[in-house]
Amino acid sequence: MKLQFKTQNYQSEATKAITDLFIGQEKGLREDIIDRKIVKNGLLEEEIIIKRFSNQELSPNINMLENIQNVQKKDPLLKQSLDLKAGLNFTIEMETGTGKTYVYTKSCFELNKLYGWSKFIIVVPSIAIREGVHKSLEITKEHFKEQYNKTIRYFIYDTKNSSNLTNISNFSNSSNIEVMIVNYQAFATSSKESRKIYKDQDSMQSLRPIDVLNRTKPILIIDEPQRLGKTAESKLKEFKALFTLRFSATHKDDFHKIYRLDAIDAYNQKLVKKISVKAIDVQGDSATGGYVFFDTIILSKNNPQALIEIDIKQKSSIVKKSKKVQEGDNLYDLSQNLAQYQDSYIVTSIDARTNTIKFLNGITLSAGEVVGSVEEKHLRRIQIRETIKSHIQKEKVLFEKGIKVLSLFFIDEVAKYRIYDENNNKIKSEYEEVFEEEYKKVIEENRTLFDEEYFKYIDKFDTNTIHKGYFSIDKKGKAITKESDILKDVNAYDLIMKDKEKLLDFKEPTRFIFSHSALKEGWDNPNVFQICTLKHSNSTDSKRQEIGRGLRICVDKHGIRQDFTKLESQFFDINNLTVIASESYDEFAKTLQKEILESLSRETKITAKVLEKITLKNEKGEVLIISKPLAKELFEDWKEKGYIGEDEFISQKAIKDIKNDDFELPQSFEGFEKEIKEIIKQASSSANVKNMIDNDKSNNEIKLEPNENFYKKEFQTLWQKINKQASYTINIDSKELIKNSIESINQTLEVQKVKVQIISSTQKENLRIDDLSKDKSILDEAQNTYERMDYELGFTKYDLIGEIVKSSQITRKTAVEILSKIRENKFAMFKANPEDFILKITKIINTQKVKLIISGIKYFKTNKEYDTNIFTVPNFKCNLSRTTGDTIEVKKHIYDYLKADSKVEKNFAYDMDNGQVVVYAKLPNDFKIPTPLGGYNPDWAVVFERSDKKDIYFIAETKGNCEELQLKGSEDLKIAYAKKYFEFLEDENITYDCVKDYEQLVDKILK
């Protein structure tokens, strides 16, 4: 398989923030005049070549500070640079997993395209990250070639590589985009290898490699600069960089921060996976009490059961086994009369809402907790088992979607997974044996829940082939066990990096990866869905680093990224990373939340001092700098209205008032309401970091089967009406498109005219001495005039027809006919601003085309029907402890439980349960109406009983505000197509519409 890439909006914004810093720079090659004093025999040609292909110096015409401030003003949370004391060091903050390597690669292409710069040096803090960058440049090569019609020539500067000097010469003597990747240890330590870059080389005509590099005036890109240290930072000056770009999620020094995408932004914008924690917590070690591990609660129509693990006496030994228990069960009986369970180990309560089990002796356990004597070995066995369970639960769902699931184990001792006998033969290790035993058990326990295709997939691979270790290998082929040696060895990274695409292929049996904890950085795989750390946690471990290997959004078997545009409301159901932790959930979550909050560059609390000097820029281009008095006024106003709590966090009242459009501001901030609201939203999201982390153990398993409501005559009648699969044809009348487009262009087309401001003034007639002071002017008051600037069409060639055809997907003949028949004064607007003219014309044509597609779509039935098995959910994960936007118990639904995707859906279901509804169903995701924009899944199927006892069938889409539908977004267009589909059914008893709540549903039915 091959990974597919597409440019994301936020990545383009980050790149533009970089390129906009140099507005005013002219494009071209550097053309320095050679200083004859330094020319020696045979060196003139070398000197000319180096200078000719080096990066052109920054133009003196660039107003650098103004450019920096203009870029920073686009984000109200960015601190404004007041001077250039930080030098030309620019900070780009991007959360782990959002593609910072992609952004700086794209930036290389854009800086070359706009300004001609072609020499880049990427500095990284470790071999792991170095190899990761190299791999990223390799796999994105074709993607960027399609965009820019050129490629980057890249190489690793490795002190042990004999081709280093050749690569550096090529780097300096080429007009291509050149990138050198180097870890700082190769030039910034006291080692002999590190000093090579500073020594004269015969093959370089007695020049030092560092001098050949610095004469190209390279652009430095620093990956994770906070890890370089003072020595490496000081050595960066040797490169004499044109400027430096610094990329990280956790900067120590901000310099000029020009872009910010922190952990909160990445999560809220659905750019990374959601985190679930499955914690294994040992509550105590009692010499007299029995061992109990409480795994999870299983709910069905009957009383809840708990899955626990206890000691059980056999003929010659005591073994640990899993048991399902219910209220009243006695562990003494279940253990075959083991004395350790005599002390009232009788189950008195299994509570799915608190996710706890209680015993008569007073012991209460939450899911994932262990009580009694447990060895280290068995604790690791539990972790491995829970990882396998999570893997299988995720895999059986994603298999049919073509998404391969990987699980990653971090271990601190290679010998626990990879060992050899005295003859150097590999033998089974402790973790290999445990993994294979537990895997076979989990498969046997769940076999009846697997569909045929999934079972064929997992059954065709031997258990010993589905797991693999990634470790450094010595010259004899044995695993290297010393951490210091692992960090230096490239082979370990080669295995992980070069197998990235292979691991994502279903033909590759590996699904479980064991890796040394030293290899936690520099690589990741988008389809890692479980991470288990089989080691003791300590205060120096970074939770963010542990989870960083699995945060990227997953891809399917075609390498296509499963982002929000593909998955929409299912995004976090699929993109969910489960961490199996060897500590309590509260402890893990608290530490991770603390790390995330500490990493945020934004303010999480609101004070007058925080508000002071924030710069606001509205859509009209007006700017407001919040002064000290304004900050005080705003802060006191918010305190009085209850928008800021005693803890200085934004209150829920502020968020509620913004949603209800009741949010008021002092008059001083008139015109900047939108920008102030954005600050509120940003600050409030910082206080809700906890929402990013779920307790996986609170997601109980429910065996969901349709209940008696499903079999009611009323629902079955409705199902028979809508279960026919359909297809469609589209007939667009070209003449109608041409006619409508011409009319719309003639009525609405307005093009933004390009104006030039001309400032004129003359020297004063009578000069005085004080006119020469810095606050005075020797010129009369300036006069401002504006003139329209027409484009010189001979200077910039535009393929007008071609651009419109490309953007609107119509034929050249149609485009010509539209343009030839619009009014002359409208066509003349092209000369005033060609780019805006093309954009506006295309938008008008596309709008008319969409309207005709909706009116021209024709549905017809096929011979296929939806099977009722799409309503069967054999293993449904839900959270009964949540009260908002999750799972609720229901009465009139076709299941006993409903997973609501939003508060709107939850309230809607509650009102239907208590209203005049006979039966309703949240339609399964597999039920889709085909549309030109992809399959559309309506929300609800409702059978409503009127007072005349006549059943009314309603298919509903729930949205917060249906009146706002503008037929612009893909979801709104799908709703328009769905209306055409239900019109085609020609059943007067079926109504399809969008409703915001149950009351609106009733209004539409009773019309």
Other C-beta atoms closer than 10 Å to the C-beta of 248 total: 21
E strands, 724-850, in order? 724-730, 755-760, 783-788
Q: Which residues of the chain have pLDDT under 50?
A: 31-40, 42-46, 48, 286-287, 474-475, 477, 486-487, 489, 492, 756-759, 763, 767-779, 782, 785-796, 883-884, 965-968
Helix (H, G, I), strand (E, B) or coil at 821: helix
Q: Among 104, 112, 174, 109, which residue's Cα sits nearest to residue 133?
A: 104
Q: What are phi and psi of 739, to 5 degrees?
A: -60, -50
Is the Cβ–Cβ distance between 653 and 630 less than 8 Å?
no
What is the amino acid identity at position 977? Y
Q: Among 870, 890, 896, 886, which residue's Cα sits nearest to residue 704?
A: 896
Q: In 17-26, which positions are buried (b, 16+ CB within 10 angstroms) versus exposed (e)?
A: bbbebbeebe
CB within 8 Å of 846: residues ≥ 6 apart: 807, 808
Compute the distance between CA of residue 923 and CA of residue 901 in angstroms, rounded to an integer. Answer: 13
Helices assigned H by DSSP within 642-726: 652-659, 673-686, 713-722
What is the amino acid identity at position 147? Q
Sign of CA dihedral 235, 236, 237, 240: positive
H or E segment to which residue 115 belongs: helix 100-115
Q: pTM of the entire structure?
A: 0.72
Residue 154 burial class via C-beta count within 10 angstroms: exposed 0-12, middle 13-18, buried 19 and up: buried
The residue written with tokens 């519409």 in the block is 993
Which is it for strands 699-704 and 292-299: parallel, antiparallel or unpaired? Answer: parallel
| Residue 772 pLDDT | 42
Q: Give residue-wise pLDDT tens across range 203-246.
A: 666 678 899 999 999 999 999 998 888 899 999 999 999 999 99
Helices assigned H by DSSP within 335-429: 376-398
Helix (H, G, I), strand (E, B) or coil at 330: strand
| Residue 854 pLDDT | 83
Is the Cβ–Cβ distance between 535 and 509 less than 8 Å?
no
The residue written with tokens 């209680």 in the block is 358
Looking at residue 233, what DSSP letter applies? Answer: H
Compute the distance between CA of residue 87 and CA of residue 91 in angstroms, rounded to an integer. Answer: 12
Is the Cβ–Cβ distance between 3 and 559 less than 8 Å?
yes
Tokens, residue 624: 């407001």
Q: Among 645, 634, 641, 633, which residue's Cα sits nearest to residue 658?
A: 641
